[in-house]
Amino acid sequence: MPVKSPVPTGKYAVGTMTYTVYGERSVASRLYYPTQKGVVKGLQKPRYMSREMAKGLSNSMMMSFNYEKNEKNGVNVSECYVNAPRIEGEKFPLIVFSHGYGEYRESNSFMCIELASQGYVVLCVSHSNQAGCTEFDDGTFVYGDKDLLLKTYKPYFGGARAVLKITKMKGTDRELAARFDEFQVKYCEYLNGLIDVWIEDTQRAVEYARENISDMIDFEKGIGATGHSFGGIVAYALCQNDPQFTCGINIDGIAIGNYEGMILRKPFMQISCAINRKLVTRVYLNHTEPVYRVVFRDMKHLGFSDLKYKLDTKKMVGSLDPDKMHENLCMCHLDFFDAYLKKLKKAPEIATNDVIKVEIKKPDI
């Protein structure tokens, strides 16, 4: 199992910076952006994870994140450069990433750094109290709610059994979506209420970017949304509700949310592991633009994040090789956003291979 970060493959080196939008619910964000390779020599690389973050994640995810060991082994660094110079006079499209429930702002940093190396600005938003730990730019931090896991379903064990039952059902996309809606009405009131909160977090982070760093971002192309788990749910909600977001990707988030009577009018991609593929069929209904169904083989839910490289537990991250996961997850994002955000081609060219199965859902409205 590799432990070092994958090296970005694009034409650019990657700079990183953070900012916090303060308020009653402060929003901490990290930006990854393209910079010239010739200017980063001697610049500092950031720590991948702080001691506080390791402690917060150990509490929220109930697994060990050994800060001291990673520091000693020299693997607690990210493949980017702190406050690297921007490329003067050049702007890049913006992709916004939201982490999963109970996870952390940098949970998919390997993918985000790769996207930045290919000519995107990637804005990662931390959702306070529902992240394992959120770190602000004034040096303060807040740990996530210690009861995060038990709040996912209410009652928790009844909800967990009900969602597992749906994964084993047979039926059409519409029939499975109806059963899922029955489940979420009964068990997911808390999570449904969080969607609007996370949308507001994202919008505040984007507003700051518009006002303060628009010199590096091409807002005229619109904004792409992506996210893992609950962050993927938020990406879908942003594409449904916010006109500044023009396309999006949901990385293995189940289809929570009330979209009755709503029509998705933007291209979208749903990435899933096999066990969760029946929990997302709502995404394939009522849309005017193509929706892409991508199912990864030999994967588990947490494996779609950086934890694929950090945890040697196949029951949690799946048996697919981490480098193959990373390569294909980045390929899905680049092919999709190159088409629908950069407008470099009419449509993605993604196809089934030995890691992913791809199906294109044509407009049904």
Q: Where are the domains of the chain?
A: 13-145+195-361
CATH architecture of 13-145+195-361: 3-Layer(aba) Sandwich (3.40)
How wide is the angle at C-alpha 269 spanned by C-alphas 265 and 273, nearest 5°?
145
Cα(291)–Cα(274) distance, integer angstroms? 18
pLDDT score at 1: 37
**pLDDT digit string, tens, across residues 307-348:** 999 887 888 899 999 999 999 999 999 999 999 999 999 999
pLDDT score at 61: 78
pLDDT along the chain (365 residues), means of 10: 76 98 97 97 94 88 80 89 96 98 96 98 97 96 89 94 96 97 97 97 98 96 97 98 98 96 97 97 97 98 94 88 97 98 97 98 91
**Beta-ladder partners of 96:** 123, 225
Query: Collapsing DSSP states into helix, strand and coil, what is residue 329?
Result: helix
Return the axis-axis angle of helices 173-187 and 189-212, rounded to nearest 10°: 100
pLDDT score at 63: 75
Question: By C-alpha distance, which of 321, 250, 315 is closest to 279?
Answer: 250
- 365 class by beta-carbon count within 10 Å (0-12 exposed, 13-18 middle, 19+ buried): exposed
pLDDT score at 2: 40
Cα(81)–Cα(14) distance, integer angstroms? 6
